[in-house]
Amino acid sequence: HHCNQPDAARSIADRLSITDHQPTTSTSTSTSTSTSKESGWKQLLVAPASTPNPPNNLHDGRIPVAHWPYHDPQGGIIGYVYRLDEPLQPGELKPKKGFRPLTLWQKDNALQWKWKGFDKPRPLFNLNQLNTNPQAKVVICEGEAKAIAAGNLLKDFIHTCNSGGSNGVQSADLTPLKGRTVLVWPDADEAGRTWLQAVLVALKKLNCIISIVDTYGLDESIGYDAANAQNDNWSIGDVG
């Protein structure tokens, strides 16, 4: 769906709003390692030396449209998020889309991929890049495809998102963002506003320097997002 919005500002810089807050001094809770077990299986949060290939069959009729790797801090792959479309139903213009996480588990010396979510607190997308570039500015979006689009527009920023979409912020480990300059880019819809508020609460506790891409006036019927902005050739303007 191509969206032409001549009245809406199409420079990211023109849409920046800076939050006004005093940094707090609260300490963040320490991150925990995976403790959830399933008959001896333990989720791996650090990739082993050799990892089995992920499965290519999904068993439930849904079609994998895209998938995005999640990394440990050193760059090893510890999971994926798959976008899975339902088969097109009669009368539907586009298929229903869903997302499904795939994580790596170990039992004794055996490794296995399981269609299970990350243990909480869940790692951020591009955690390895955040780890190796501790001073870099960050843009955070509401999903992997949108984060990649934002990264394509904002070359100087590391792009990230929480897994689990608009309702996953409270379950995410956002501590790698502590003290950083963070640009928050919500979708232009109700879910996006809910996600934005949750992200702002979390980032303020982490003493981040926060700015927001203002989505007011953008097409809410499609939840206009960073991927739409990339398709519409938004300019960067003077960001950050």
Convert the pLDDT of each residue in 82-128 to its tens digit. 988 888 888 888 878 888 899 999 999 899 999 999 999 999 999 99
Q: What is the pTM of this model?
A: 0.83
pLDDT for res 116: 93
Output the CA–CA distances (angstroms, integers) from residue 116 to 111, 211, 218, 224, in the order listed: 14, 33, 35, 29
Over residues 25-30, mean pLDDT: 34
133 pLDDT band, cuts 50/70/90, is very high
DSSP 8-state code for residue 233: T
**The pLDDT of residue 24:** 39
Supply the pLDDT for residue 166.
87
- Give me the residues paired with residue 180 across strands: none
Q: State whether the Cα torsion 225-226-228-234 is positive or negative.
A: positive
Across the chain, mean pLDDT equals 85
Q: What are phi and psi of 86, to 5 degrees?
A: -70, 150
Tokens coding 213: 């891409």
Which alpha helices (DSSP H) does 135-212 contain, by range? 144-153, 190-205
Query: Identity (one letter) of the amino acid at 166?
Result: S
